[in-house]
Structure 1
Amino acid sequence: MMLFLLAGEPSGDRLGAALMAGLKELRPDVEFRGVAGPLMQAQGMESLFPMDELSVMGIAEVLPKYPALRRRLQQAAMACLDWQPDALITIDSPDFSLRLAKLVKAESEVKTIHYVAPSVWAWRPGRAAKMARHIDHVLALLPFEPPYMEEAGMTCDFVGHPVVAEPIARRPEVEAFRAEHEIGEAPLILVLPGSRKSEVARLLPVFGETLRRVLAEKPEARVVLPAARPVASIVQEAVRRWPGTPIVIDPRDDARADEKKRAAFAAADIALAASGTVSLELAANATPMVIAYDMSWLSWQIMSRMARIDTVTLVNLIVGENLVPEFLGPACKAPDIAAALLKLVDDKPARLKQLAAMNSTMMKLGKDGEAPGLRAARSVLSVLG
């Protein structure tokens, strides 16, 4: 069996790696080619070109890089068509992925599968019908998504969210992490500014000023940042000007970075995070959070007008109540974010409500069931007969 996979960012790389592991378990003869990050490469796939080149988000941010992205699109399409795999599996990164599927479908009978249903329930509902012209089957992460895909004409399976299968640090690991960094019993604030260079560059100044205000009220608190590899250098440079001597977990020069990141998630008392799937990682670790995100003025104007929901945090969406505070676009201001973090530290009932919502979210996403990567692999094989 031959499968061409494409991932465009770290979250897609994680999904792809779990899918590859599941497929290898069920079909040991499977062969992979495509575009991959380090986790998928560790599963045995050589990347056609660096995945980091596709990690761009926001309309204004994409425009300067469009010519280079267009060249990579043509390169990926030609590689897929030349190989003629049993299926093309694109993972998230819908703008690039669906253009690739369109090119491949126009020139072949290759089965097309897209992993991560587009959030048509949130904005741009017409995307499902447009997607159905080039996609045969969808692997959905959220339990309420299949009907949207099926209505548009695609088959779709809910395969569970990968966050429910990720390892959680145990108490000895948490205690060891606190001891190694001399944190003791001090409150620990986890800071997660994202994994894309454009978003991190925009958020770090706001997050730095936010922490300056929080630490003025809670000087005993410590700060830890697990940096994503593509933005580690940006993070290291920015935190030099931050108060409190933040602890940066840098995967470029720390062989234990993944282990330390897990420990930091479990050890943290509260978190400040960019909007995205990281909110589910925090929920899995029962870490109360505040979400903040900003983008260019043009991107915000367009996206805010298209939105069909009043929250972007998946915990809020799944439980149907806005328990996680959000500061998005023009509202992404340090004084307000700092006030929300301080309130979360001091307001035990608010923390307990968040924790209950997090537990409910994890159960709905497939906790205690079969691993999502294996479920996704079964779905792929069922489509291919």
Structure 2
Amino acid sequence: MARERLIYVIAGEPSGDAIGEKLITAIRNQYGSGVEFVGLGGPAMESVGFQSRFPISELSVMGLVEVLPHLWRILGRIRETADDIVRQNPDAVVTIDSPSFTVRVVKQLVGRYQGPKIHVVAPTVWAWRPGRVHKFKKYFDHLLTILPFEPTYFQRVGLASKFIGHPVLEYGVQEADDRAFRKDHGIDSDQKLICILPGSRRGEVARHLSIFGEALARYRAAWGDVFAVIPTVPAIRAFVEEGVSGWPEPPIIVSTPLEKYQSMKASNLALAASGTVALETALAEVPTVIAYKVSPLTAFIVRRLIKVDYVNIINILAGKEIVPECLQEKCSPDVLADILGELSAASGQSQIQQVRPYLSQLASSEGRPSEVAAQYIIEVSTPETSVDLP
């Protein structure tokens, strides 16, 4: 009796975990019950029956310098994962984002695994290190991108690439019940709520939380009392709770996707570490300021490699700063508080209006991102089936 189709999925961080959960569900809906998933994932993927080989929180390290203390452990996990793929010999390997981990895993499969290797979420070669297109061509067979302008960069070197749409569009933030959140937490409709998003990795939270807390205190001093909510992920919730234990007014802390999107939709303002959350707050139509800080050495290196003027996708698509960006030296309590104050006035509504046209560019004409990706993966993992793209 033939075995079920086996797909090895690797999602090494929370954003990839969310994509993986939608992808697994979409593949099951399209292919039926005759498919099994193994590999690495987090709580979202586990919620649909996936079992991760080890906690992906071990991989949640960000920054060129910050990763060094964890290097040997991560290298060990890379070897373990590659060996497990060879042993299981799946019908396809699907890696999601986390290129510093996933590329190294796939590199160790050379000469040992012959099935299709599909990567979801292209590396930002349009922003820095454009030479990575050749690395991805060398180690992957297919690439599914989440930004409309990305396929061309990889098709030029012969890597089959397809735009599937941005996964943030199907996370559910637009449909979240803001009134239910305010009711559950005793926040009246006329009371202000600020959504604080310091990052999904422990290192990001360590760098941003105290700065964001001081910015909140300064905003309160100038604009009056305001509620605050911090959406986080289960793996670092205790760390966040410890970090805010000394705040004069403890914020609300939530750690489920439902509560996260309800809290965003219920908020009047957002202060967010750069990343996917900035698109989520845009979809929730919440005026947002983006902030990010890394070690001085990491910042020094990145600034000499970066090729774009902005870090926020909306700003990149627009070619101008619609959503304020406060990076490194600008990521300070005073600057952040001042911008939050400006967003409390007319500039906040102006931001919402200006963002809308660029959000529409993130959708695929073929359907939901997970559905488009699922169909592609099923096709390329079926024997004697190939997908030809320009």
TM-score past 0.5 threshold: yes
The one of 192, 197, 204 equivalent to 2:202 is 197
- Equivalence for 2:15: 11
Residue by residue, what CA displacement relative to the aligned partner does 1:232-251 show, whole Å, maximum 9, x if unpaired?
112112222223332122x3
- Equivalence for 1:88: 93
Residue by residue, what CA displacement relative to the aligned partner does 1:318-365 show, whole Å, maximum 9, x if unpaired?
22221111111222111111111111112x1x2233212332232111
Residue by residue, what CA displacement relative to the aligned partner does 1:248-304 show, whole Å, maximum 9, x if unpaired?
22x3xxxxx433222211111110000001111111111110000101111111111
Paired residue type of 2:320: E
Note closer, same or farther for the CA distance 1:117–1:261 as it changes in structure 2 (3 Å cut).
same
What secondary structure, in the 3-state scheme, does the structure 2 residue paired with 1:290 have? strand
Q: Which moved more, 1:137-146 or 1:149-158?
A: 149-158
Contact 1:211 1:243 in 2 (8 A): no
Q: Which moved more, 1:286-295 or 1:239-248?
A: 239-248
What secondary structure, in the 3-state scheme, does the structure 2 residue paired with 1:124 have? coil
Aligned equivalents of 1:27 and 1:368: distance in 2? 22
- Equivalence for 1:163: 168
- Equivalence for 2:103: 98
What secondary structure, in the 3-state scheme, does the structure 2 residue paired with 1:125 have? coil
- Equivalence for 2:388: none
Note closer, same or farther for the CA distance 1:332–1:168 as it changes in structure 2 (3 Å cut).
closer
Aligned equivalents of 1:192 and 1:78: distance in 2? 37
What secondary structure, in the 3-state scheme, does the structure 2 residue paired with 1:106 have? coil
Aligned equivalents of 1:78 and 1:124: distance in 2? 29
Aligned equivalents of 2:87 and 2:39: distance in 1? 12
Shift of 1:370: 1.8
Alignment pair present for 1:21 and 2:25: yes
Residue by residue, what CA displacement relative to the aligned partner does 1:38-66 show, whole Å, maximum 9, x if unpaired?
11122222111111111111111111111
Aligned equivalents of 1:31 and 1:303: distance in 2? 40
Alignment pair present for 1:210 and 2:215: yes
The one of 249, 252, 264 equivalent to 1:247 is 252
The one of 37, 41, 54 equivalent to 2:42 is 37
TM-score (norm 2): 0.93
Runs of 4+ residues deviating >6 angstroms: none
- Equivalence for 1:254: none
Shift of 1:169: 6.2
- 1:1-385 correspondence runs (5 A): 1-28=5-32, 29-168=34-173, 173-184=177-188, 185-249=190-254, 251=255, 257-346=256-345, 348=346, 350-366=347-363, 370-384=367-381, 385=385
Shift of 1:368: 8.4
Paired residue type of 2:204: E
TM-score (norm 1): 0.94
Aligned equivalents of 1:88 and 1:168: distance in 2? 29
Q: How many residues align?
A: 376
Contact 1:291 1:325 in 2 (8 A): yes
Aligned equivalents of 2:166 and 2:354: distance in 1? 16
Aligned equivalents of 1:179 and 1:381: distance in 2? 43
Note closer, same or farther for the CA distance 1:238–1:197 as it changes in structure 2 (3 Å cut).
same
Residue by residue, what CA displacement relative to the aligned partner does 1:199-230 show, whole Å, maximum 9, x if unpaired?
10011111111111101012222111112212
What secondary structure, in the 3-state scheme, does the structure 2 residue paired with 1:282 have? helix
Shift of 1:134: 0.4
Aligned equivalents of 2:50 and 2:235: distance in 1? 20
CA-atom RMSD in angstroms: 1.6
Residue by residue, what CA displacement relative to the aligned partner does 1:135-181 show, whole Å, maximum 9, x if unpaired?
1100100011000111122101100111111223658x322322332
Give structure 2 stretches of 5+ with no counterpart.
386-390
Contact 1:319 1:360 in 2 (8 A): no
Aligned equivalents of 1:319 and 1:64: distance in 2? 38
